Chains A and B, each alone.
Chain A
């Protein structure tokens, strides 16, 4: 499996959160072999990540990484606005025609540019959330995404949304899996032990 690489800021010294994230990177898949007997069925969680809002994507990443850490196979089907946070760093405007470009102009892609669904106040809300996050040493969406992919959480992009938004496979982060459609989402959701639409 690929190891996550991000252009994260230089690590601060004596930062326990940073150390924890670095410990996690490079760890092979945790679920399955680590905790479960071979004959025992691995529990499965499927989350549909529909929203690109900070206060939706964040819990998706918290739950999916915790599931992987608990020996649960975690898969995230990424669709509609939910796809934009998974666009690679440095890609500002994506899409082929002007309407697709307008979408990403209005909602900036990338994991560091999420808006709040409530009280966004032109960026004031997310800024306050980020300040509180640092004060209470909570892992950021970027850090959680790194931990999640390192622990084997699978992210499946929606092919139809990619087509509609004009997103190409290479516009998305390398850790994304193969694009799939609604039938795949239904299959994995109905076979999973729990499925969530966030």
Chain B
């Protein structure tokens, strides 16, 4: 499966709940099945994006952390 990321949501520097709020807003521009990435520095976003993914059905397909920046790759439901 090739993952082609069409959009990046930059939520670096934002605290809860803005990374989620910003992602929910950005997702509207992404077609169903499309991939997008979220960058966040809020450590709580690791648990929060997992929960948000379960609530909304937008699947986390990749997750990494690099120098305090968390990166999530999600597939739009």
When the two chains form their complex, are residues A70 and B15 in contact, meaning their CB atoms are under 8 A apart? Answer: no
In the complex, A178 has a CB within 8 A of chain B: no
Contacting pair A70 B24 (CB below 8 A)? yes
* CB-CB under 8 A for A16 and B13, given A34-B27, A34-B28, A71-B56: yes
Is A70 a contact of B18 with CB atoms below 8 Å? no
Give the size of the chain A interface in residues (CB under 8 angstroms): 26
Question: What residues of chain B lie closer than 8 Å to A16, measured between beta carbons?
Answer: 10-14
B61 part of interface (Cβ distance < 8 Å)? no
Q: Are B14 and A66 in contact (CB under 8 A)?
A: no
Count: A-B pairs, CB below 8 Å? 74
Q: Which residues of B contact A87 (CB under 8 A)?
A: none
Cβ of B20 under 8 Å from chain A: yes
Contacts of B13 in A (CB 8 A): 16-17, 137
Q: Please state if B11 and A27 are interface contacts (CB–CB under 8 Å).
A: no
Contact: A20 with B55, CB < 8 Å?
no
Apart from A27-B25, A69-B25, A139-B15, list 13 A-B contacts with CB within 8 A. Answer: A16-B11, A16-B14, A27-B28, A30-B28, A34-B28, A65-B21, A66-B17, A69-B17, A70-B56, A71-B56, A137-B13, A137-B15, A139-B18
Count of chain B residues near A, Cβ 8 A? 24
CB of B26 within 8 A of CB of A151, answer no
Alpha-carbon distance A20/B12, docked complex (angstroms): 11
Q: Is B3 part of the binding interface, using a Cβ–Cβ cutoff of 8 Å?
A: no
CB <8 Å contact, A70 and B25? no
- B43 close to chain A: CB less than 8 A: no
A30 cross-chain contacts in B, Cβ below 8 A: 24-25, 28
Contact with B along A55-87 (1 / 0, CB 8 A): 000000010011011111000000000000000
With both beta carbons as reference points, the residue of chain A lying nearest to B24 in the complex is identified as: A69
CB of B11 within 8 A of CB of A138, answer no
10 closest Cβ pairs, A-B complex: A69-B24, A66-B17, A70-B55, A138-B15, A16-B13, A35-B56, A20-B22, A69-B21, A27-B25, A71-B56
